[in-house]
Structure 1
């Protein structure tokens, strides 16, 4: 067979996105379990996802600190024993903090679940937050904070988040005094209210056997009880800053960090898919307008990008970069110019087709295995929208026109309404 390498492969449009439908099981204690059974190997990924408790400005670090210290000791095991036990069976155990939810993740072979699952149960029900580990955490975090605050981009992100999110879990920026005020008794109380089965969603992906489900029911259904008051996962209302320009001067800065942004809509809003197209044109991929202008043409920066952060109780559209201190004003002027072009001129057909194909190709490419299907499910489940969202998303991305995008740009992208944060020289 002779291959003609002078002819490009046939291009096929992406018509739809097919996602795996999970099996739903609700345990007697209220814990929801979703099973993505599609693995060829004897491997499971299990995620115990918990809603974060209501943010308390008087004790703002509790949600973060609990997840950082969760595996540092229980009633029956030290942190070293937990790590050794998990490592011995070739498993992986991690606790992660997120703005809306925090989770404990276990990767384990099926044949070792009888040894690894009890360790997760121990962590979820018997963590003790040893005082020595709390003190070590406080000391390390203070040192890291001291280093981080020397970086312009870190300072800019902290100021920006505070301006657009106010005194909420999204806008909080830790200071050394917050770490010093951490109290073990507060951690234990917070842990008791947060780590309850009726505040837990268990998502399992991989080769799921009945034996595994039986063990899960025994450990996390029959012998895990809801005690005390239900978890309060509501969050304070976002009250944004009244100023639109925040300038932190650093006279010796060689680079200035820029963060520009506006309140936006999250994925539950009907405008969200089209706004993602508009964002991709602006700064959402390497060939975007911001990259082409400010990096490739002007040489003001190594990288610049934009994105829409979809959160449960808020959403932000942001532009971020670090530029030479001597060209900071010029870079911001170019950003404003690109925003105004989207409001005054239609996006060319060839550019719009390229962006749509990039977005749909990236979405399809991200569904490479059963774990990524579970990740997509989490996005819609915790936003309280259906799994058909991605089918609708695909169709809306394909159908949106340049005229509709121009209309949305005029609705959302008024530069005068942007919060502007500059750290360095301006």
Structure 2
């Protein structure tokens, strides 16, 4: 017999050390003992404004760790292994991010390596050529996937010519990127003004803050990037059909702008989304999967960026039931906006969200991810 679920426990938030350094870098440090590790998250605002800049930014992400004037790519990897650390680089619509970790006693070594990469990256020609060819091939393969095509077309509907509507870079644009162009982009945009660094782990916040300030004083580019403009609300337009001969299923995407995570209405909106299609016990899953058998896992997801938040409803269905699946999706949308949810639905969604937040922030890495994402959106 399965026991009853107990009362929800209140999540206790730790104390946060928050400081802005003279170079403009904001440092947020949280003591979270347990494993003798420290997790680092660094987000640098670097939004792309043109398709060409998008290509350069994606390649910069791939080659940022390819070498400095002191170390080769192999040397950087060996140094990370020596200090028991890791360091990854990625990008999203709002900029560049670095994610790393190290043993607590070697955190100073990781910070020194990060500063070296942020101030002295060299972008060797051989690495740029290799990553340029690899990324161009990945783009060609991605654009052959129906879910990628559907996602790109929906973003164009959301944002039009706004930077968030750029999508994947073109192979031809990637081929025009050189080491010199990457170096120019790096010098112009990889700067501390407006950047946020989060450290979470087995550390002493005051002492760690001094260590960060000492290491980061070498990162001197102070100018902040221009903020991303708010996009206009998308105009109502006819349904778009992208014909792919030979496809045996239809990739359905619907969506629009959503309240930001700092809006007063967002908690209610998030619970409504969960009830509608945001988790496996949602109405959309019960209707399209359990009752009709149209699809395996329909979903409704909220995505937050700095300048806008969106909601996307997605389903992959057999081609012959496309119309019926759209009718049922519209029915569920009408039901969620016109009639209040049952008390049990609301309580289950609330428990699910609180539970996933508690689980997601239980580890040092999960807490650092959550805190970094919130801070990057100004929360």
Q: Which TM-score applies when normalising by structure 2?
A: 0.91
Residue of structure 2 in register with 1:90 after alignment:
84
Unaligned runs of 5+ in 2: none
CA distance in 2, matches of 1:195, 1:340: 46
* Residue 108 (structure 1) aligns with: 102
Task: Please tell me whether the aligned partners of residues 68 and 117 of structure 2 are also in contact (alpha carbons under 8 angstroms).
Answer: yes
Q: Which residue of 2 aligns with 1:165?
A: 159
- CA apart distance, 1:212: 4.6
Contact residue 255 and residue 311 of structure 2 kept, 8 A:
yes
Alpha-carbon contact 1:280-1:355 (below 8 Å) kept: yes
On the 8 A contact 2:29/2:209 being kept in 1, the answer is: no
1:146 CA displacement: 1.7
| Kept in 2: contact 1:255–1:323 (CA 8 A) | yes
1:18-33 aligned at under 5 Å gives the runs: 18-33=12-27
Residue 212 of structure 2, aligned match among 195, 211, 216: 216
Q: 1:28 to 1:216 in 2, by over 3 A?
A: same
- Structure 1 counterpart of 2:224: 231
Q: Within 5 Å, which residues of 2 pair with 1:261-272?
A: 261-272=255-266
Q: Distance in 1 between matches of 2:235 and 2:135?
A: 27
Query: Does the residue aligned with 1:111 lie in a helix, a strand or coil?
Result: helix
Pair 1:316–1:212, CA change in 2 (3 A): closer
The aligned runs of 1:64-213 (5 Å cut-off) are 64-173=58-167, 174-209=169-204, 212-213=208-209
Cross-structure match for 1:354: 348
Q: In the aligned structure 1, how far is the partner of 2:148 from the partner of 2:314?
A: 11
Shift of 1:335: 0.4
Distance (Å, rounded) in 1 between the aligned partners of 2:342 and 2:106: 56
Alignment of 1:213-292 (within 5 A): 213-221=209-217, 223-226=218-221, 230-239=223-232, 240=234, 243-292=237-286
**Distance 1:69-1:282 versus aligned 2 partners, 3 A rule:** same
* TM-score, structure 1 as length reference: 0.82
1-side partners of 2:2 and 2:241: how far apart? 54
CA distance, structure 2, for counterparts of residue 373 and residue 237 of structure 1: 29
Q: In structure 2, how many angstroms separate the alpha carbons of the residues matched to 1:131 and 1:289?
A: 53
In 2, the alpha carbon distance for the partners of 1:344 and 1:246 equals 26
Distance in 1, matches of 2:175 and 2:137, equals 12
**DSSP-derived class of the 2:310 partner:** strand
Structure 2 residue 289 is matched with structure 1 residue 295: yes
Question: Can you list the C-alpha shifts for 1:243-263, whole angstroms capped at 9, x where unaligned?
Answer: 342211112101111111122
Q: Deviations over 1:314-373 (max 9, x none)?
A: 121110111111111111111011112223333222222222222222222322134433
**SS of the residue 1:96 aligns to:** strand
1:101 CA drift (Å)? 3.5
**RMSD (Å), alpha carbons:** 2.2
Cα 1:379/1:85, change in 2 over 3 Å: closer
Gaps of 5+ in 1: 1-5, 386-426
Classify the secondary structure of the residue corresponding to 1:21: coil
- Per-residue Cα deviation, 1:74-93 (whole angstroms, up to 9, x for no partner): 22222122112212332111
Provide the C-alpha distance between the structure 1 equivalents of 2:69 and 2:241, rounded to a whole number of angstroms: 49
CA distance in 1 between counterparts of 2:370 and 2:134 reads 34
Answer with 1 or 2: which has the greater Rg.
Answer: 1
Cα displacement (A) at 1:238: 2.5
Look up the match of 1:367. 361
The equivalences for 1:35-54 within 5 A come to: 35-53=29-47
Alpha-carbon separation, structure 2, partners of 1:191 and 1:335: 45
Kindly state the Cα deviation for residue 203 of structure 1 after the two structures are TM-superposed.
1.0
SS for the counterpart of 2:92 is: coil
Residue 92 to residue 379, structure 1, CA distance change in 2 (3 Å): closer
Which residue number corresponds to residue 413 of structure 1?
none
How many residues are matched? 376
